[in-house]
Amino acid sequence: MTNSVVDAPPAKVPAELTPPPGRWHRVRPWLPLVALVVFAVLPYSTAHLPGFFEGPLNSPGTLQLLAICLVFGGLAAGYDLLFGRTGMLSFGHALYFAAGVYGVDILVTRAGLPLWSAALLTVTGGATLAALLGAVALRTAGIAFAMVTLAFAQVGAILVARDFGGLTGGEEGLPLDVSGLPAALVGVTNTVNLYWLALAYLTLVVFVVHRVSGSPTGRVLAGLRDDERRIGVLGLDPYRFKLVAFTLSGTLAATGGVIYCLLVGGASPHITSSELTLSLLVMVVLGGPGTRWGPVLGGMLYMYLDHRLTAFGSSSAVDALPSVLSRPLSQPLFVLGTVFILAVYFFPGGLAGLADRLGPLRRLLPRRP
């Protein structure tokens, strides 16, 4: 009886009560594929968007920025598997991302392993770390769970900063030894290959998260988010399902750390800070927690603004403004915080709910015959 309750399909709406699908509903299922194709062929474009990017779309600087946005879009989608889809607020998710960054860097630079062997060992280690720490943290719930995950992350940050075992490079970080990397991933001219690798990572995360969400396990996770006691009454073990979500989310974060290390050419201590996890939380809320594409959009937009606002704050246009305006506008965190507050106030459902909120306005507009 338990499986039949969890796996039961939703009730069908009578055909006479279902409105006829419009053109948007026929096109909408194909939009993800169209977006994937557009991003895949983007490096072949020489278009220049002044104000949005420093150079043409196929320039190394623009491709690296877009690749970082893609990585954090995937990272936010993986974190949403915990926060938006299961209802677990973790303040230590940066630990598993840092494990991916430092893990592959140490294995390549210190141990001299080939990249693909180092990447496989790093992802496996990240999954094991997430499973072990999750098994402990999930013995608690609510704010206690958040504090335990934060404590684990702080331990990791201290180990990195203190240069534990002489492996991490301490506060100076650890540059990646590119002599052990494939030639196709080394050099400015090969930035396009790293871009495609970041796109492949985002595609993988979206595929995994959507497959899990649409499976019986995903419906149990949604039930845990809404009412954990009801899942227990059905005879299911909430602890095991939450551990699966925690481990899978940590594994995806470690995989993203491997890609990020290749993009930036090494590891630095700032990725171990709790500020990164808070940034992930902002990305998910900005995009729309628990939605199909919201966290991806939120992660990409946040990282784009984070990078571009730094250049904007030091531009001559900002310097020419009165000091009462130039000083706050020169601080990227101030502008990001303002954007986040306005977005939450006017669009509480995030970017993913923007289309629904604008639906009534579109219906008021006159239609072409």
Question: Is residue 367 assigned to a domain?
Answer: no
Question: Is residue 61 assigned to a domain?
Answer: yes
For 33-49, what is the mean pLDDT?
Answer: 89
For the stretch 299-328, pLDDT in tens is 999 999 888 887 777 767 677 777 777 777
Nearest to 243 by CA among 132, 155, 143, 77: 132
Question: Is residue 25 assigned to a domain?
Answer: no
Count structural domains, the chain. Answer: 1
pTM of the predicted structure, to 2 decimals: 0.87
Residue 200, pLDDT > 80, answer yes
Question: Is residue 41 assigned to a domain?
Answer: no
Question: Please, which pLDDT band fits residue 369 given cuts at 50, 70 and 90?
Answer: very low
Question: Is residue 293 assigned to a domain?
Answer: yes
Tell me the three state secondary structure of residue 168.
Answer: coil
Residue 367, pLDDT > 70, answer no
Mean pLDDT of the chain: 86
Question: Is residue 221 assigned to a domain?
Answer: yes
For the stretch 93-122, pLDDT in tens is 999 999 999 999 999 999 999 999 999 999
Q: How far apart are CA 33 and CA 26, in angstroms?
A: 14
H, E, C per residue of 182-246:
CHHHCCHHHHHHHHHHHHHHHHHHHHHHHHHHCCHHHHHHHHHHHCHHHHHHCCCCHHHHHHHHH
Q: How far apart are CA 19 and CA 156, in angstroms?
A: 54
Length of the chain: 369
Question: Please, which pLDDT band fits residue 334 given cuts at 50, 70 and 90?
Answer: confident
The answer to whether 254 and 97 have CB atoms below 8 angstroms apart is yes
Nearest to 350 by CA among 10, 51, 84: 84
For residue 172, give its domain range: 49-361
Among 13-22, 32-41, 42-51, 347-356, where is mean pLDDT lowest? 13-22
Domain with residue 128: its CATH number is 1.10.3470
- Give the HSE-up count for residue 188: Cα atoms under 13 Å, Cβ half-sphere: 5
Identity (one letter) of the amino acid at 70?
A: L
| Residues of the chain above pLDDT 70, percent | 88
Residue 342, pLDDT > 60, answer yes
